[in-house]
Structure 1
Amino acid sequence: MKNEWKKCRRILCIRPDNIGDLLMSTPAIRALKQTFNCHITVLVSSLGAAAVPEIPEIDEAIIFDVPWVQTTGTPDPAQFYQLVKQLREGRFDAAVIFTVYSQNPMPSIMLAYLAEIPLRLAYCRENPYQLLTHWIPDDEPYTHIRHQVVRDLDLVARVGAVTGEQHLSIRTREILWPVVCEKLLLLGLDPQKPWMILHPEVSEQKRRYPVRDWIAAGRKIRAATSCQILITGKNNTAEAQEIAAGIGSRAFSAAGLFDLPELIVLIKHAPLLLSVNTGTIHIAAAVRTPVLVLYALTNPQHTPWRVTSKVLYFDVPVALQSKNEVVKYVYRSFCAEKLPSATPDNIAKMTQAMLELTAASSGSFEEPHALS
Structure 2
Amino acid sequence: MIGRPQPRRGDHRRETAALARVSLRRHPLGGYRYVRWRWRLLFALVDVLGTALFAAAGCLAALWRRIVPARRGEGGTTGRILVVQLDHLGDAIITAPIFALLKQRYPAARIEVLAAPWNRRVFDLIAEVDRVHICARNRFAPRPGLGWIPAVIVWGLRMRRRRFDLAIDVRGEFPHNVLLWLCGARRRVGWGSGGGGFLLTDRAAYVPDRPELESRMALLEPLGIDAGGAGRRPLPRIHPTEAADAFARSAWRQASPERSARRVVIHVGAGTPAKRWPVEHWRALLAGLAARGSVAVALVGVESDTATARAILGSRPWPVVDWTGRLEIAELAAVLQQADLAIGADSGPAHLAAAVGTPVVVLFSGTNRLEQWRPRGATVQWLRHPVACAPCHRRQCPVASQPCMRGIRPADVLLAIERLLAAAAGRGEDRSALAPAKRGAE
TM-score with structure 2 length normalisation?
0.68
Q: Quote the residue 2:300 is aligned against.
A: 232
User: What letter corresponds to residue 345 of structure 1 in structure 2?
Assistant: A
Q: Quote the residue 2:281 is aligned against.
A: 213
Q: Quote the residue 1:48 is aligned against.
A: 119
What is the CA-CA distance between 1:362 and the residue it aligns to? 6.2
Greater CA deviation, 343-352 or 42-51?
42-51
Seen in structure 2, the aligned counterparts of structure 1 residues 159 and 8 have a Cα distance that, compared at 3 Å, is: same
* Deviations 1:338-367 (CA, angstroms, capped at 9, x unpaired): 99x62111001111121122122269xxxx
Does the 8 Å CA contact 1:184/1:190 hold for their aligned counterparts?
Answer: no
> In 2, distance between residues paired with 1:127 and 1:46?
25
Q: Quote the residue 2:384 is aligned against.
A: 313
* Deviations 1:85-140 (CA, angstroms, capped at 9, x unpaired): 211111011111112xxxx5322111111222221111223884641111234131
- Of residues 134, 150, 153, the one that matches 2:217 is 153
User: What letter corresponds to residue 421 of structure 2 in structure 1?
Assistant: L
Q: Quote the residue 2:313 is aligned against.
A: 244
> In 2, distance between residues paired with 1:247 and 1:321?
36
* Deviations 1:233-270 (CA, angstroms, capped at 9, x unpaired): 22122222332347753222222333222211111110
Does the 8 Å CA contact 1:125/1:139 hold for their aligned counterparts?
Answer: no
User: What letter corresponds to residue 98 of structure 1 in structure 2?
Assistant: V
Q: Quote the residue 1:343 is aligned against.
A: 409
1:182 equivalent in alignment to 2:250:
yes
Does the 8 Å CA contact 1:36/1:161 hold for their aligned counterparts?
Answer: no
1:27 equivalent in alignment to 2:91:
no
What is the CA-CA distance between 1:53 and the residue it aligns to? 1.2
How large is the Cα RMSD of the aligned pairs? 3.3
> In 2, distance between residues paired with 1:91 and 1:27?
24
User: What letter corresponds to residue 31 of structure 1 in structure 2?
Assistant: L
Seen in structure 2, the aligned counterparts of structure 1 residues 171 and 316 have a Cα distance that, compared at 3 Å, is: farther
What is the CA-CA distance between 1:292 and the residue it aligns to? 0.6
User: What letter corresponds to residue 358 of structure 1 in structure 2?
Assistant: A
Seen in structure 2, the aligned counterparts of structure 1 residues 27 and 77 have a Cα distance that, compared at 3 Å, is: closer
Question: Where does structure 2 lack aligned partners over 5 or more consecutive residues?
Answer: 1-73, 398-402, 430-442
SS at match of 1:56: coil
> In 1, distance between residues paired with 2:163 and 2:235?
30
Identity of aligned residues (%): 22
1:117 equivalent in alignment to 2:185:
yes
Seen in structure 2, the aligned counterparts of structure 1 residues 105 and 200 have a Cα distance that, compared at 3 Å, is: same
Q: Quote the residue 1:254 is aligned against.
A: 323
Seen in structure 2, the aligned counterparts of structure 1 residues 239 and 323 have a Cα distance that, compared at 3 Å, is: closer
Does the 8 Å CA contact 1:172/1:261 hold for their aligned counterparts?
Answer: yes
Does the 8 Å CA contact 1:125/1:138 hold for their aligned counterparts?
Answer: yes
What is the CA-CA distance between 1:311 and the residue it aligns to? 0.2
What is the CA-CA distance between 1:62 and the residue it aligns to? 1.7
> In 1, distance between residues paired with 2:256 and 2:413?
25
1:356 equivalent in alignment to 2:422:
yes
Question: Where does structure 1 lack aligned partners over 5 or more consecutive residues?
Answer: 329-334, 364-372
1:132 equivalent in alignment to 2:196:
no
User: What letter corresponds to residue 271 of structure 1 in structure 2?
Assistant: D
> In 2, distance between residues paired with 1:214 and 1:220?
10
What is the CA-CA distance between 1:10 and the residue it aligns to? 0.9
* Deviations 1:266-312 (CA, angstroms, capped at 9, x unpaired): 11110111111111122212211111111112232221212311101
What is the CA-CA distance between 1:16 and the residue it aligns to? 0.6
Matches within 5 A, 1:183-202: 183-187=251-255, 190=258, 192-202=260-270
Does the 8 Å CA contact 1:42/1:61 hold for their aligned counterparts?
Answer: yes
> In 1, distance between residues paired with 2:419 and 2:195?
49
Greater CA deviation, 258-267 or 122-131?
122-131
Q: Quote the residue 1:63 is aligned against.
A: 134
User: What letter corresponds to residue 424 of structure 2 in structure 1?
Assistant: T
> In 2, distance between residues paired with 1:129 and 1:277?
30
What is the CA-CA distance between 1:204 and the residue it aligns to? 1.9
What is the CA-CA distance between 1:77 and the residue it aligns to? 6.1
Q: Quote the residue 1:369 is aligned against.
A: none
Higher Rg: 2
1:298 equivalent in alignment to 2:364:
no
- Of residues 285, 296, 318, the one that matches 2:354 is 285
Does the 8 Å CA contact 2:137/2:148 hold for their aligned counterparts?
Answer: no
> In 1, distance between residues paired with 2:244 and 2:178?
42
> In 2, distance between residues paired with 1:248 and 1:317?
39
> In 2, distance between residues paired with 1:191 and 1:15?
40
1:10 equivalent in alignment to 2:80:
yes
Seen in structure 2, the aligned counterparts of structure 1 residues 217 and 175 have a Cα distance that, compared at 3 Å, is: same
TM-score with structure 1 length normalisation?
0.80
Does the 8 Å CA contact 2:256/2:296 hold for their aligned counterparts?
Answer: no
> In 2, distance between residues paired with 1:22 and 1:5?
30
SS at match of 2:363: strand
> In 1, distance between residues paired with 2:320 and 2:419?
19
Seen in structure 2, the aligned counterparts of structure 1 residues 346 and 225 have a Cα distance that, compared at 3 Å, is: farther
Seen in structure 2, the aligned counterparts of structure 1 residues 316 and 117 have a Cα distance that, compared at 3 Å, is: farther
> In 2, distance between residues paired with 1:360 and 1:246?
37
User: What letter corresponds to residue 175 of structure 2 in structure 1?
Assistant: P
> In 1, distance between residues paired with 2:104 and 2:154?
31
Does the 8 Å CA contact 2:81/2:166 hold for their aligned counterparts?
Answer: yes
- Of residues 96, 103, 108, the one that matches 2:176 is 108
Seen in structure 2, the aligned counterparts of structure 1 residues 57 and 314 have a Cα distance that, compared at 3 Å, is: farther
